[in-house]
């Protein structure tokens, strides 16, 4: 069966790339810069690739009754444009392109060719094996993709600026006020429990009156969503227990990439999320209509109408790993970091690190960011493996983005080829704070537990916990950031165990190797698990900095691999800590589980409401936070925060074995948060002193 599927895919590819014939030639006499057109095959331009730079409009565009096509490839000796009536056509019309002295290849076709499918055939003397591969346009605004190995694609000529935004604008929010919900577009509505009529799609996500999707997110109270990658990406990986292009897949029986960290087109929205099919259909075309463009805009507009900002998770450090017909075939030597033998450098772990320091790669990245801001009204970006992007590009991104929207959110993972949160903070970027994640929750649930368990992971101590409260600032000896709004505080993300599963394993409620057949029963929290989840949430949502919650933290979501699914996965029934490959119930949000753990969900809602209402938990200055002097219990923490007329006491007892007594400042204090409930409604009054049980917390406000 596997061999047959692979053979058919290769057969398609052979037909696809070798039967291109018929040449109709139209050469443009127009230019967007003062560069002159030079003859193809000029070898002199290859001496120093870094010297080539163009300000011309790239990609396909319509102007003065013609459709233009431009591609930057300074190392190529010949490029031809190939257009198709249908994306599945094995042959098309060929147009020879000419190159200017800046490395830009160009041609044009008479007429406004909106909806036309096209690609490029690039002839590179240094990489002759790629000459029959049809490459998509790096600046393409929409893509039609054939769902099989190597993922052949066609670019689409797109008409822009014709969407009715109905007065929509960016959500311009101070970074200190952000409460981010990291989510996957498909996961939020793919499960039947969401009630969606269009499950797993952009449109399904914004259906009102449903259990899941936008109504659920709004009721939770978060003010920003962070979308896992939604630029066109490679959905399919190489065949399981079979070879393809010299690689043998022993790790992915699903042959899928679900999360999306394999970008194929930096300007095009992912077409799978516009597909109304329940699952990805192999050996079929998707994205042909281009409807993904308006679907994505509809999604952004709907979130904005509900006051919710939209941040995109973007991947500019590497490209889709397995497919053919992309920058690797357009100009490997220009676009990628290579070793002295011409092999891809692999600090990203994906075997093709982009050479972001190249002038035109830098321009590609910046152009992409600005395009999503202008054309799609996106409010910000989270950069995957940000340290793989050179500093000059990092600086250029935020400088240009802030000229368009001064409130644009720019955050990243401050690792990948190094680790430097302070370096990003110096340049005005925010970063994921893995120190608070590991210090509060722990690094792993087996032998790397953190503070909420009454343990110290690594070099954590009471001083570091206090630093996390204040935004992990460099002004104390434990800090990472110049400003607290540069610290993205989180306890779990898409990567690794969910917070709920981390706690389940840490408390030995389950073993990582245990087979779980009844997930509905398993997901119900034990009293200890519930206490730990609440303590973690209380610390996260009362600490200074940007707050990020992973989808499902609020009900202790589990990622159990379906035991009865007909997939040869040796880990079926176990908890998954790397679910990137699973377009199934492992990743889907099950809203029945929300009901099962509604106590925790309501606790999160209350804490979010508290943080939104009172600026003390978002905007208090460093000196406005005064810590209690506690000498008998290193896992107890208390502080008084006074800001803008507000006066709060926040107390924690993370010691699992003893109670802790706190002496309150003079006066009567209203309890807003205790071990059972959280919010802005008074739960009782305290004065004098309070005693916290093990693994619990409290927030009190001066009456």
pLDDT at residue 45, as a whole number: 43
Average pLDDT over every residue of 218-240: 97
pLDDT at residue 277, as a whole number: 79
11 pLDDT more than 70: no
Domain covering 2-156 assigned CATH 2.60.40.10 in the classification: yes
DSSP string, 396-426: HHHHHHHHH-TT-EEEE-SBSSSB-HHHHHH
- Mean per-residue pLDDT of the chain: 93
Closest C-alpha to 699, from 656, 659, 664, 666: 664
Instruction: Give the model confidence (pLDDT) of 157-210 as tens digits.
Output: 999 999 999 999 999 999 999 999 999 999 999 999 999 999 999 999 999 999
Instruction: Give the model confidence (pLDDT) of 92-147 as tens digits.
Output: 999 999 999 999 999 999 999 999 999 999 999 888 878 789 999 999 999 999 99
Average pLDDT over every residue of 435-449: 98
Residues 261 and 233 sit within 8 Å (Cβ to Cβ)? yes
pLDDT at residue 190, as a whole number: 97
Name, in order, each residue with C-beta under 8 angstroms of 488's C-beta and a sequence gap of 6 or more: 180, 411, 430, 431, 432, 433, 545, 546, 548
Instruction: Give the model confidence (pLDDT) of 261-297 as tens digits.
Output: 999 999 999 999 998 778 899 999 999 999 999 999 9
Instruction: Give the model confidence (pLDDT) of 644-698 as tens digits.
Output: 999 999 999 999 999 999 999 999 999 999 999 999 999 999 999 999 999 999 9
8 pLDDT more than 80: no
Instruction: Give the model confidence (pLDDT) of 576-613 as tens digits.
Output: 999 999 999 999 999 999 999 999 999 999 999 999 99
Single pTM value for the model: 0.93
Cα 415 to Cα 349: distance, rounded to the nearest angstrom: 12
Torsion region of 665: left, alpha or beta (phi above 0 gives left; psi -120 to 50 gives alpha): beta
Percent of the chain predicted with pLDDT > 70: 93
DSSP string, 585-653: TTTS--HHHHHHTHHHHHHHHHHHHHHHH-THHHH--GGGEEE----S-TTEEEEEEEETTEEEEEEEE
22 pLDDT more than 50: no
374 pLDDT more than 90: yes
470 pLDDT more than 70: yes
Cα 363 to Cα 413: distance, rounded to the nearest angstrom: 21
Q: Is 26 helix (H, G, I), strand (E, B) or coil?
A: coil
- Superfamily the domain 625-702 falls into: Golgi alpha-mannosidase II (2.60.40.1180)
Using 50, 70 and 90 to split pLDDT, how confident is the model at 35?
Answer: very low
Using 50, 70 and 90 to split pLDDT, how confident is the model at 47?
Answer: low
Beta bridge partners of 22: none
Residues 122 and 73 sit within 8 Å (Cβ to Cβ)? yes
pLDDT at residue 359, as a whole number: 98
Cα 630 to Cα 349: distance, rounded to the nearest angstrom: 45
316 pLDDT more than 50: yes
Query: Which sequence spans correspond to the domains of the chain?
Result: 2-156, 625-702
Beta bridge partners of 547: 179, 489
pLDDT at residue 245, as a whole number: 82
- The beta strands (E) that lie in 470-570 are given as 487-489, 546-550
Task: Check for a shared fold between 2-156 and 625-702.
Answer: yes
Q: φ, ψ for residue 390 (rounded to 5)?
A: -65, 155
What own/partner pairs with CB < 8 Å and gap ≥ 24 does 300-304 have?
A: 300/168, 300/376, 300/377, 300/378, 301/165, 301/166, 301/168, 301/377, 302/206, 302/214, 303/206, 303/214, 303/225, 304/168, 304/169, 304/170, 304/171, 304/377
Residue 661, both tokens: 């007594």
Name, in order, each residue with C-beta under 8 angstroms of 109's C-beta and a sequence gap of 6 or more: 26, 66, 67, 69, 83, 95, 116
Using 50, 70 and 90 to split pLDDT, how confident is the model at 38?
Answer: very low
Name, in order, each residue with C-beta under 8 angstroms of 360's C-beta and a sequence gap of 6 or more: 52, 53, 54, 72, 103, 334
């Amino acid at each position: 069966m596997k061999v047959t599927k692979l053979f058919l895919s290769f057969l398609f590819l052979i037909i696809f790339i070798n039967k291109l014939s018929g040449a109709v030639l139209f050469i443009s006499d127009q230019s967007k810069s003062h560069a002159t057109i030079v003859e193809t095959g000029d070898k002199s331009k290859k001496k120093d690739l870094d010297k080539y730079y163009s300000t011309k409009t790239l990609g396909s565009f319509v102007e003065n009754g013609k459709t233009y096509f431009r591609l930057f490839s300074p190392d190529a000796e010949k490029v031809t444009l190939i257009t198709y009536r249908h994306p599945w056509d094995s042959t098309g019309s060929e147009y020879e392109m000419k190159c200017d002295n800046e490395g830009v290849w160009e041609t044009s076709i008479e007429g406004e060719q909106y909806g036309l499918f096209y690609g490029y055939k690039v002839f590179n003397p240094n990489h002759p094996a790629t000459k029959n591969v049809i490459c998509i346009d790096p600046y393409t605004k929409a893509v039609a993709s054939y769902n099989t190995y190597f993922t052949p694609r066609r670019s689409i000529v797109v008409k822009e600026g014709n969407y009715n935004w109905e007065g929509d604008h960016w959500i311009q929010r101070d970074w200190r006020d952000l409460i981010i919900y990291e989510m996957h577009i498909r996961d939020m509505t793919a499960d039947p429990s969401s009630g969606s009529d269009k499950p797993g799609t952009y449109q399904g996500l914004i259906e009102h009156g449903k259990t899941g999707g936008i109504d659920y997110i709004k009721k939770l109270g978060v003010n920003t969503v962070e979308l896992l990658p939604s630029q066109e990406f490679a959905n399919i990986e190489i065949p399981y227990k079979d070879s393809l292009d010299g690689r043998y897949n022993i790790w992915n029986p699903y042959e899928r990439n679900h999360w999306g960290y394999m970008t194929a087109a930096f300007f095009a929205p992912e077409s799978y999320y516009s597909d109304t099919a329940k699952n990805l259909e192999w050996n079929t075309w998707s994205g042909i209509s281009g409807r993904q463009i308006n679907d994505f805009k509809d999604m952004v507009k709907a979130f904005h109408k509900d006051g919710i900002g939209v941040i995109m998770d973007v991947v500019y450090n590497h490209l889709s790993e397995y497919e053919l017909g992309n920058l690797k075939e357009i100009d490997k030597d220009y676009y990628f970091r290579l070793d002295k033998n011409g092999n891809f450098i692999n600090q990203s772990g994906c075997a093709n690190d982009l050479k972001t320091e190249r002038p035109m790669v830098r321009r590609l990245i910046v152009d992409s960011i600005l395009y999503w801001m202008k054309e799609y009204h996106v409010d910000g970006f989270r950069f995957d493996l940000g340290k793989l992007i050179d500093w000059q590009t990092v600086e250029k991104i935020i400088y240009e983005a802030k000229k368009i929207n001064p409130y644009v959110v720019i955050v990243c993972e401050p690792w990948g080829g190094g680790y430097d949160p302070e370096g990003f903070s110096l340049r005005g970027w925010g970063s994921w704070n893995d120190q608070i994640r590991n210090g509060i929750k722990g690094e792993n649930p087996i032998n790397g537990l953190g503070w909420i368990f009454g343990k110290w992971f690594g070099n954590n101590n009471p001083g570091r916990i206090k630093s996390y409260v204040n935004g992990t600032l460099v002004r104390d000896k434990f800090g990472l950031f110049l400003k607290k709004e540069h610290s993205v505080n989180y306890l779990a993300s898409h990567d690794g165990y969910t917070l709920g599963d981390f706690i389940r394993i840490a408390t030995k409620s389950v073993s990582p190797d245990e087979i779980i057949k009844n997930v509905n029963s398993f997901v119900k929290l034990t009293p200890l698990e519930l206490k730990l989840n609440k303590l973690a949430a209380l610390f996260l949502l009362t600490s200074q900095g940007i707050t990020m919650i992973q989808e499902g933290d609020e009900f202790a979501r589990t990622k159990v691999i379906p035991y009865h699914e007909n997939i040869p996965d040796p880990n079926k029934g176990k908890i998954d800590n790397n679910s990137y490959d699973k377009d199934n119930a492992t990743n889907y949000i099950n809203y029945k589980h929300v009901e099962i753990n509604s106590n925790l969900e309501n606790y999160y809602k209350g804490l979010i409401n508290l943080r939104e209402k009172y600026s003390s938990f978002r905007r208090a200055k460093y000196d406005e936070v005064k810590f209690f002097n506690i000498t008998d219990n290193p896992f107890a923490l208390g502080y008084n925060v006074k800001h803008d007329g507000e006066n709060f006491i926040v107390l924690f007892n993370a010691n699992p074995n003893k109670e802790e007594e706190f002496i309150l400042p003079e006066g009567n204090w209203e309890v807003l948060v205790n071990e059972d409930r959280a919010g802005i409604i008074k739960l009782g009054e305290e004065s004098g002193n309070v005693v916290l049980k093990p693994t619990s917390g409290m927030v009190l406000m001066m009456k």
